[in-house]
């Protein structure tokens, strides 16, 4: 009913709007007054966490994209090797697991069969399993050694939005916590990131207030057949997520690529006026990455692409090459997905509406897939 949707036309719109709160709620009580993380709820002892020599993340769909982003954070902040794998692939390839492997299973519903089978397999090999889950008491957390709940609240729309942002928050918390427990050399950076993380829900709120041009742009592209998405570093999984949303909701051919891979194939796809969404990294910090993305944008534009660039406010270098510029607030590089994903959700939702598709219940999809 309209009341359940809180005045929005679709649950998806309501859930997109709820993201600042979902992010804040997922941080609530997990950062103490001194700016340290308190994750006592993770019932794996600090002694055990210090022994971990590998992290393996398993998940499906949008949760898998959260896992891909987590890898950048975990390896950077903790120096523990981290693999991310689709749960359906992981289970059947005889992966190397032992008691020093921490397996992180990410699932909004806690009922995805592929993820459940992957975690059962991991526990049989003696690995510890930490679930990141949005549904209290569901099967995946019940069968895990520990759980870090995301506090997105119930997510009704099939296409995941607020659950994804809170999965990212939970992944950062796990990465930072592992760093904190193991006393990595990134101590200062970790403290600074925890401070930035506690302000991030306001930044998500700011992004939401600037989405009208994105909706307008989406409507103008409703007759297109293909949209490509490019990114580097954590912008690459964001590109994959942007493409997934468009497939799910707009039923358009959409693909995400690592921008550096363009020249190894995807650039052949570029045609006159084809929309290409590019997630640009911050021009501060890792500026090498930024220089590279600017040349990637020039390359595709020279071949006729219509460039839609998501870039940090005040990014002067990309502006001349962006046919459409979508500005997002400055954040530390690793946290950028929390703000960069939001315009892509709005874009896909608006395209679905413009194409007359059912937003909350896309064809052929289920909210939670309980068969293998």
Query: What H or E segment, with its residue span, contains residue 68?
Result: helix 61-78
Using the rule CB under 6 A, is 336 a contact of ligand G6P? Answer: no
Which tokens in the block code for residue 185? 């050399």
Using the rule CB under 6 A, is 88 a contact of ligand G6P? Answer: no
CA–CA separation, 55 and 120 (whole Å): 16
The residue whose Cβ lies closest to ligand G6P is 61
Residue 266 or 337: which CB sits closer to ligand G6P? 337
* Minimal distance, residue 251 CB to ligand G6P, in Å: 14
Using the rule CB under 6 A, is 369 a contact of ligand G6P? Answer: yes
Out of 107, 127, 161, 336, the only residue in the binding site for ligand G6P (CB under 6 A) is 107
* Minimal distance, residue 341 CB to ligand G6P, in Å: 13
DSSP percent split of the chain into helix, strand, coil, nearest 5: 50, 15, 35
Residue 340 contacts residue 238 (beta carbons within 8 Å): yes
CA angle centred on 235, ends 231 and 241, rounded to 5°: 90
Q: Where does this chain touch ligand G6P (CB under 6 A) — which range of 96-104, 156-164, 295-303, 345-353?
A: 156-164
Q: What is the DSSP string of 111-134?
A: --HHHHHHHHHHHHTT-EEEEEES
CA–CA separation, 157 and 294 (whole Å): 35
Among 5, 54, 247, 367, which one carries the catalytic annotation?
367
Residue 84 contacts residue 70 (beta carbons within 8 Å): yes
How many residues of this chain bind ligand G6P (CB under 6 A)? 16
* Minimal distance, residue 150 CB to ligand G6P, in Å: 10
Of residues 54 through 83, those in contact with ligand G6P by CB under 6 A are: 60-63
CA–CA separation, 63 and 273 (whole Å): 32
Count CB atoms within 10 A of the CB of residue 145.
19
Using the rule CB under 6 A, is 250 a contact of ligand G6P? Answer: no
Out of 101, 109, 144, 166, the only residue in the binding site for ligand G6P (CB under 6 A) is 109
Using the rule CB under 6 A, is 113 a contact of ligand G6P? Answer: no
**Buried/exposed code over 192-215 (b: 16+ C-beta within 10 A; e: otherwise):** ebbeebeebbebbbebbebbeebb
CA–CA separation, 322 and 64 (whole Å): 29
Using the rule CB under 6 A, is 288 a contact of ligand G6P? Answer: no
* Minimal distance, residue 2 CB to ligand G6P, in Å: 24
Using the rule CB under 6 A, is 368 a contact of ligand G6P? Answer: yes
Using the rule CB under 6 A, is 158 a contact of ligand G6P? Answer: yes
Q: Where does this chain touch ligand G6P (CB under 6 A) — which range of 105-113, 189-197, 272-280, 345-353?
A: 105-113
Indicate if the alpha-carbon torsion angle 345, 351, 353, 359 is positive or negative.
Answer: negative
Out of 112, 144, 201, 327, the only residue in the binding site for ligand G6P (CB under 6 A) is 112
Residue 175 contacts residue 73 (beta carbons within 8 Å): yes
Residue 256 contacts residue 236 (beta carbons within 8 Å): yes
Using the rule CB under 6 A, is 365 a contact of ligand G6P? Answer: yes
Binding track, positions 9-48, relative to ligand G6P; x by CB under 6 A:
----------------------------------------
Residue 112 or 307: which CB sits closer to ligand G6P? 112
Which tokens in the block code for residue 298? 């020039």
For residue 257, the cross-strand partners are 230
Which of helix, strand or coil describes residue 16? Answer: helix
Active site residue 292: no
Using the rule CB under 6 A, is 160 a contact of ligand G6P? Answer: yes
Residue 119 or 259: which CB sits closer to ligand G6P? 119
Residues with catalytic annotation?
367
Q: Footprint of ligand G6P on this chain (CB under 6 A)?
A: 60-63, 107-109, 112, 115, 158-160, 365, 367-369
């Amino acid at each position: 009913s309209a009341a359940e949707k809180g005045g929005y036309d679709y649950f998806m719109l309501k859930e997109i709007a709820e993201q600042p709160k979902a992010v804040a709620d997922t941080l609530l009580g997990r950062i103490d007054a001194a700016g340290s993380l308190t994750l006592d709820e993770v019932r794996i002892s600090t002694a055990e966490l210090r022994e971990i020599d590998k992290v393996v993340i398993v998940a499906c769909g949008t949760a898998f994209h959260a896992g891909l982003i987590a890898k950048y954070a975990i390896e950077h902040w903790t120096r523990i090797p981290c693999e991310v794998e689709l749960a359906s692939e992981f289970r059947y390839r005889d992966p190397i697991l032992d008691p020093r492997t921490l397996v992180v299973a990410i699932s909004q519903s806690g009922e995805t069969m592929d993820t459940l089978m992957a975690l059962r397999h991991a526990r049989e090999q003696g690995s510890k399993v930490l679930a990141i889950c949005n549904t209290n008491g569901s099967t995946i957390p019940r069968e895990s050694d520990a759980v870090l709940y995301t506090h997105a609240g119930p997510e009704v729309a099939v296409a995941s939005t607020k659950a994804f942002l809170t999965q990212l928050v939970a992944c950062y918390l796990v990465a930072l916590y592992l760093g904190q427990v193991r006393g990595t050399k990134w101590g200062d950076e970790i403290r600074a990131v925890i401070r930035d993380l506690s302000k991030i829900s306001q930044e998500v709120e700011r992004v939401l207030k600037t989405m009208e041009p994105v909706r307008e742009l989406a409507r103008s592209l409703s007759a297109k057949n293909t949209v490509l998405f490019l990114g580097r570093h954590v912008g690459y999984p964001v590109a994959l997520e942007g493409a997934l949303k468009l497939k799910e909701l707009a039923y358009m051919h959409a693909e995400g690529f690592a921008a550096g891979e363009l020249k190894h194939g995807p650039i052949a796809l570029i045609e006159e006026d084809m929309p290409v969404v590019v997630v640009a990294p911050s021009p501060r910090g890792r500026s090498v990455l930024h220089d590279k993305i600017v040349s990637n944008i020039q390359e595709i534009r020279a071949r006729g692409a219509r460039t839609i660039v998501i870039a940090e406010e005040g990014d002067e270098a990309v502006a001349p090459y962006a046919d459409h510029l979508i500005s997002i607030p400055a954040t530390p590089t690793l946290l950028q997905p929390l703000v960069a994903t939001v315009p892509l959700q709005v874009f896909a939702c608006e395209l679905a509406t413009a194409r007359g598709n059912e937003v909350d219940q896309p064809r052929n999809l289920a909210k939670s897939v309980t068969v293998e």
